[in-house]
A and B are shown apart, each in its own frame.
Chain A
Amino acid sequence: MTKSVRKNTEQYLHLYKQMVRIRTFEENANQLYLNAKMPGLTHMYIGQEAVAVGICEALDSTDRITSTHRGHGHCLAKGAEFKQMFCELLGKAEGYCRGKGGSMHIADQDNGNLGANAIVGGSMGIATGAALSAKLLGTKAVAVCFFGDGATAQGLWYEVMNMAALWQLPVIYACENNGYSEYTPTSEIAAGSLKARAEAFGIESHKVDGQDVLAVHALTQGLVNRLRNGEGPFFIELETYRYHGHHVGDINRSYYRTKDEETAWQKDRDPITNFGRWLEEQDIASSEELSEIISGIHAEAEEAVRYAIDAPYPNHDEVDTHVFAGVKHALPYISGDSNGS
């Protein structure tokens, strides 16, 4: 692991906690699905925790991220709370989006999360636009665009990379290469090298082990500092793996990937296990302390799940609110009632 990160006990433990929070959240979300308590489907982030945490820990809450259909990890890493997230997953009024968005649209503006996105590649323009506004407004904020290997097939990425490079925008394109785009290996959907594609626009590009939280964090921290000084954009390809299926219902996976492959990643390259071991080796935490962290987070998650299950659904009259900014109810408004009251 990289030693370049300042040896800061508290920060190391925070990185660990954040990864455990994501895994715990996802395990509970999966359970809610299996118990038929969660409406719809969701995409598990388990296995990729070091990517979201390593990157988001290098950001301030005023920095912006855009996320994907596999977005719970990004949302938590950027500072979201369990309760409002579980409420959103269950379509409850206290959710981050008042139940209107659900798993694939979770957003948390207060922490700079502009939202998950159910359109693959759909957020690439948004992240680049957030970088443009940061530059024009002189805020020094940066933007990180999370997307998967599959999303690199979308033409939009090439359009916005071109403009981001021409206009030197403070944005990092962070490609989480988990080896698969739905049920297809990346090698079958991506020609050539992803890194070379960004480099073709003159964008400085990096490839990093996405299971190594310190490596991800150190790389990102360096790039963020440079973005704040007017450099950029940058591209990072993070090598990672999703342990679960493409979505919670994708159980029989043997036709597209082997059990051995899944086990090998979980056994040898688990970001949480490996980082925990390193923390112990460095005498930063004992295994008892780590277990305590884990059980504390488990308890917090269980309480949040209970809370969300009991929480009320939105009132029926919310169905046509938030369609237009500045309009209370859309239905009267579109029929000509000017204030939509």
Chain B
Amino acid sequence: MDREITHSQAVNEAIAEEMRRDSTVILLGEDVAEAGTPFKVLSGLVEEFGTERVIDTPIAEPGFMGIAVGAAMTGMRPIVDIMFGDFLFLIMDQLCNQAAKTHYMSGGKLNVPLVVRTNLGATRRSAAQHSQSLHALVAHIPGLKVALPATPYEAKGLLKTAIRDDNPVVIFEDKLSYQMKGNVPEEEYLIEFGQANLLREGNDVTLIGTSSMVQTCVAASDLLAEKGISAEVLDPRTIVPLDERAILESVRKTSRAVVVDEGHQNYGITAEIAARISEKAFYHLDAPVIRLGAMDVPVPFSPALEDLTVPTPELVAEKALSICRGELVHDA
């Protein structure tokens, strides 16, 4: 049975179900208990599971991340709450040097089954230290899986899969979408990693969007339809692993691709996906692959500037249109 719940309720349900199912699942983070986080995503969990399993930590991200790594190596399945994606920079050593490499360095003898739950997304007028989309950073590190849910359905299904995974998984929620509603089945379900979601079928161009940019691509496809362009919209859902097969299949059909992601464009997710398309579907392409990421500047506070830094449906449609019409997109 389908019903509509918010992204935030979907996250809450995923955690509650997994905590009921597996007593080794614990939750650590700042104000995760009584306050249920500043986004109120975790409200009610401490009432059901108690303060032994829903643990309020001091503001000591490297410390509680390290504790989670150790606990994960010795029998627990911690979910670490990093309030803003920007605070990932504080836990980088524990996440990337410790958690990510332990299984490999131990020759497969030690596992680190933990989840880092955090978020991404600008345009909340929160300025440069509370608005970053840093998923490319962790996707760069072998040993970490990275999930980017775009809907309440995905938020729940991917998080449940992440909690059951025997590896460290970083899951980024779009903080602007916590109140967004969507269909979520009552019955239990999981979403396998590495399975892209085809949102729109089309023939002229493939719009590949992640997380916050999935809806942007859907809106762009509507704009394109008005111009007689049929756009396919694909959401990879996880970037490690990446459903390369689905991406290549789509691009081989449409011959054109625009890749849209809210991380910075320089050295980002869009670059990675565009490179794979160029490498593996080159002879099917009718136009250069276009990347659209966040502008390569720290996120400015002023609304007048911030809105310029994130790709919009209009921009995506404009770029898609220009490659569909065979217009020269390079000025050099």
Contact = CB atoms under 8 A, between A and B. Distances in A.
B59 A105 contact: no
Contacts of B31: 182-184
Interface stretch (A55-63, A233-241, A318-326): A318-326
Interface string A134-178: 000000000000000011011100000000000000000000000
A207 interface: no
Interface string A242-266: 0000000000000110000000000
A99 interface: yes
Interface string A96-107: 011111111100
B202 interface: no
A182 B125 CA distance: 20
A182 B38 contact: yes
Contacts of B50: none
B313 interface: no
Nearest to B124: A40
Given A101-B301, A182-B30, A154 B59 contact: yes
Given A91-B125, A119-B86, A319-B295, A100 B300 contact: yes
Contacts of A190: 58
A313 B34 CA distance: 40
Given A150-B58, A323-B298, A331-B295, A91 B304 contact: yes
B22 to A, nearest CB: 27
A189 B33 CA distance: 13
Contact of B129 (A40, A92, A118, A318): A118
B293 to A, nearest CB: 12
B170 to A, nearest CB: 19
Contacts of B63: 153, 155
Main secondary structure of the interface of A (DSSP, over half): loop
B3 to A, nearest CB: 28
Contacts of B125: 39-40, 91, 102
Contacts of A118: 86, 126-130
B296 interface: yes
Interface in A320-336: 320, 323, 330-331, 334
A202 interface: no
Contacts of B315: none
A181 B29 CA distance: 13
A79 interface: no
A334 B56 CA distance: 42
Nearest to B87: A119
Contact of A181 (B58, B128, B298, B309): B58
B311 interface: no
A228 B40 CA distance: 47
B127 A319 contact: no
Interface centre among B124, B266, B298, by most A CB within 10 Å? B298
Nearest to B130: A118
Nearest to B301: A102
B300 A319 contact: yes
A256 B129 contact: no
A183 B34 contact: yes
B303 interface: yes
A112 interface: no
A32 to B, nearest CB: 13
Nearest to B128: A105
A314 B302 contact: yes
A94 to B, nearest CB: 11
B186 to A, nearest CB: 30
B199 interface: no
B62 interface: yes
Given A39-B301, A319-B297, A320-B295, A153 B58 contact: yes
A330 B59 CA distance: 34
B300 A99 contact: yes
15 contacts: A40-B124, A41-B126, A99-B301, A104-B129, A105-B127, A120-B59, A182-B35, A183-B31, A256-B34, A313-B304, A318-B305, A319-B295, A320-B297, A331-B296, A334-B266
Q: Which 10 A-B pairs have the closest CB atoms?
A: A102-B301, A91-B302, A153-B58, A40-B125, A99-B302, A313-B304, A39-B125, A118-B129, A183-B35, A189-B58
Interface of A: 39-41, 91-92, 97-105, 117-122, 150-151, 153-155, 181-184, 188-190, 255-256, 313-314, 316, 318-320, 323, 330-331, 334
Given A313-B305, A316-B305, A319-B308, 4 more contacts: A91-B304, A104-B127, A104-B129, A182-B38
